[in-house]
Amino acid sequence: MKNLMLAAGLLALAAFTLPVANDPNTTSEIPQDNKLVIYQLLPRLFGNKVALNKPYGTILENGSGKFNDINDLALTKIKEMGVSHVWYTGVIEHATMTSYPAAGLPADDADVVKGRAGSPYAIRDYYSVDPDLAVNVKNRLAEYEALVQRTHAHGLKVLMDFIPNHVARSYRSSAKPTGVVDLGAQDDKTKAFAPNNNFYYLPGQHFTVPAGYNPLGPLTAPQEDKKYTEFPAKATGNDVFSAAPSVDDWFETVKLNYGVDYQNGRKTYFEPIPDTWKKMRDILLYWAQKDVDGFRCDMAEMVPVEFWAWVIPEVKKVKPGIIFIGEAYNPKEYNTYLTKGHFDFLYDKVGLYDGLRRLMRQEGTTDDITHVWKEESNGFGSHMLRFLENHDEQRIASKDFATDPRRAIPAMTVSATLGSGPIMLYMGQEVGEQALGSEGFSGEDGRTTLFDYWGVPAHQKWMNQGRFDGAKLSPEQKQLRDFYVRLLALAGSSEAIRKGQFYELQDANNLGKEYDQHKLYAFLRYTKGQQVLVVVNFSDAKTYRPTLLIPAEVMQRMGLNPQRTHTYRDLLNGGEAKPNLTLSLPPLSALVLEIKPQ
């Protein structure tokens, strides 16, 4: 047995004699310190203290959070989680079934609105903010500006949405600055496509509301009559060039024209600069000059990369430090949108999120993680935003996803520490929100609704009627939140995690009797000043007790003497430093061990 173990060790050591450039366990990427810790919250949901949760309920019945609810105490508690950036989601004024007649804001036609509250991604006025979020509706922009200032006062930066691909069918800005011409106001509607039109048209055709759409299910919605006057019909936001989109399309939105003639071979007309480009640049500059620190750009790949290549430098001329995060789903285009398009960060959804989702559901293997750093984001891992939840994805604790929120412990640890790029947390994730019930338009789908007025039960327990003390959380929820706080604080403060080199240890340990490389994942992050070993167990049933091997050549690469003995202190969970790497890994556990010479 001893000879077998020695042979295994020698084999592993032999595998690590290759130069760094050819070593299959690492990359030549020089990590950049981009460890933003982002907390995503929807103001409509975050501050809402009403717990009625009536399906299809009105704002009076189910309530709505306000900008003012995100007060100094709330921001203090967010900051204490190790957060550096807050993404305020759903801020810009969008189509809704709620009217504010005193402020001159009528309800939209329900036949082209999704949900009682409406989709935050069906923008009605790019130069205004959602009236639901204001205490004084006429003063709503000032209340948002005060939130931005308040957030900055707590040492936090502000991110907000930019939705470049589509707008609400009812788009009309009542708050636009003097001299701004509305989108579509000067379009030649006799043409299906013209380079300087802001929209695409279907000349001679009337828009048809999707068959079978019931805006409020069993209830009757405002102005619901299965009709909506739009002539000529415009193309729908998800690239549907039909006057009669289906109920599964983004029928509440219309596609913006960036100079691409989709119906004629996608021929492009980018010179001279299209009118839509200029209008969208002006919108970005409007918000940038209100001291916003960055934009999360919705469906960035549905807009030509040439637009981003032009507009991002234009905005950065005015505000050099501002950041752009792209929602992206095509790995083949990631590098293009980062280099040519000038994005600072892109979603790592199709790669790391999807792989970790499978692991959390006990369906995948750690090979998915290896594929991400080795293939999908090789060379630009520092620019990939990692997450396990956001407004589009199912809640980890929901029955549709993983059921047990503790399944996030190994996955979130990998998300936060695998690279030096940003990590994001979604409000309620840290307390195991389950997204139970059918809210209305959303239905019971494991997601927290974007479209309906609603309370988020687990989050409301932490918020505790504005005390933000977590007093109503269960012991299990408190433990879960404590894990997230410890992990995010560590990810944001550890030199090795923020900017260290990466080295995977799967190959070095795959001959270990107690090392199941499909369920366990181990890697190093190191700088000259700090070396850490991350080990996680994705199994929800088995405890592993491996003795990990870090090959001598890798110890030397980290600046450590392999002949010396070392201690291993768990930075994530605390406790006494260990004298060796014989570990105990219970189900759904994670260790982040700092390596120190003894």
The count of residues in the chain is: 598
Do 462 and 588 lie in one domain? The reply is no
pLDDT, position 304 = 98
- DSSP string spanning 297-333? ETTGGGS-HHHHHHHHHHHHHHSTT-EEEE----GGG
Q: What value does the mean pLDDT take over residues 344-349? A: 98
The string of pLDDT tens digits covering residues 182-217 is: 999 999 999 999 999 999 999 999 999 999 999 999
Is residue 72 in some structural domain? yes
Final residue belonging to a domain, choices 464, 492, 520: 492
Name the percent of the chain lying above pLDDT 90: 96
Do 432 and 354 lie in one domain? The reply is yes
Give me the torsion for CA of 447, 449, 451, 457, rounded to 10°. 170
Q: In terms of residue numbers, what domain contains 554?
A: 501-597
Is residue 390 in some structural domain? yes
CATH number for the domain that contains residue 342: 3.20.20.80
pLDDT, position 9 = 40
Which helix or strand (DSSP H or E) is residue 490 part of? helix 475-493
Q: What value does the mean pLDDT take over residues 507-524? A: 97
CATH number for the domain that contains residue 587: 2.60.40.1180
Mean pLDDT over each residue of the chain, to the nearest integer:
96
Beta bridge partners of 93: 125
Res. 277: pLDDT tops 70: yes
Do 294 and 436 lie in one domain? The reply is yes
Lowest-pLDDT range of 9-18, 66-75, 170-179, 572-581: 9-18
The string of pLDDT tens digits covering residues 71-123 is: 999 999 999 999 999 999 999 999 999 999 999 999 999 999 999 999 999 99
d(CA 106, CA 598): 70
Do 288 and 437 lie in one domain? The reply is yes
Do 570 and 463 lie in one domain? The reply is no
Copy the structure tokens of residue 555.
């110890």
Which of the four pLDDT bands, split at 50, 70 and 90, describes residue 343? very high
Coil, helix or strand at residue 137: helix
Final residue belonging to a domain, choices 465, 492, 519: 492
Do 464 and 552 lie in one domain? The reply is no
Q: How many domains does the chain have?
A: 2
- Cβ distance 183 to 138 under 8 Å? no
Q: Is 231 exposed, middle or buried (0-12, 13-18, 19+ CB in 10 A)?
A: middle
d(CA 203, CA 193): 10
pLDDT, position 21 = 58
Is residue 511 in some structural domain? yes
- Cβ distance 571 to 494 under 8 Å? yes
> E strands within 36-181?
37-41, 85-88, 92-94, 123-129, 157-162, 166-168
Is residue 213 in some structural domain? no
Final residue belonging to a domain, choices 492, 514, 538: 492
Is residue 227 in some structural domain? no
- DSSP string spanning 195-236? TT-SB-EETT----PPTT--TTTTSPPTT-SS----SSEEPB
Do 67 and 106 lie in one domain? The reply is yes
Do 343 and 429 lie in one domain? The reply is yes
Residue 236, number of CB atoms within 10 A of its CB:
25
Do 451 and 555 lie in one domain? The reply is no
Copy the structure tokens of residue 563.
């002949």
| Element counts in the chain: helices (H) and strands (E) | 16, 21
Res. 534: pLDDT tops 80: yes
Beta bridge partners of 261: 267
Do 521 and 447 lie in one domain? The reply is no
pLDDT, position 22 = 85
Is residue 530 in some structural domain? yes
Contacts for 529 with CB less than 8 Å, ≥ 6 apart: 495, 496
Is residue 338 in some structural domain? yes
Res. 15: pLDDT tops 80: no
d(CA 292, CA 286): 10
Q: Which of 246, 285, 46 is nearest to 147 (CA)?
A: 46
- Cβ distance 256 to 276 under 8 Å? yes
Q: Which of 6, 114, 34 is nearest to 421 (CA)?
A: 34
Is residue 223 in some structural domain? no
pLDDT, position 13 = 36
Do 416 and 287 lie in one domain? The reply is yes
Do 479 and 517 lie in one domain? The reply is no
* Phi and psi at residue 6, to the nearest 5°: -65, -45
pLDDT, position 132 = 98
Q: What value does the mean pLDDT take over residues 477-481? A: 98
- Cβ distance 524 to 551 under 8 Å? no
Q: What value does the mean pLDDT take over residues 284-300? A: 98
pLDDT, position 20 = 55
The string of pLDDT tens digits covering residues 36-51 is: 999 999 999 999 999 9
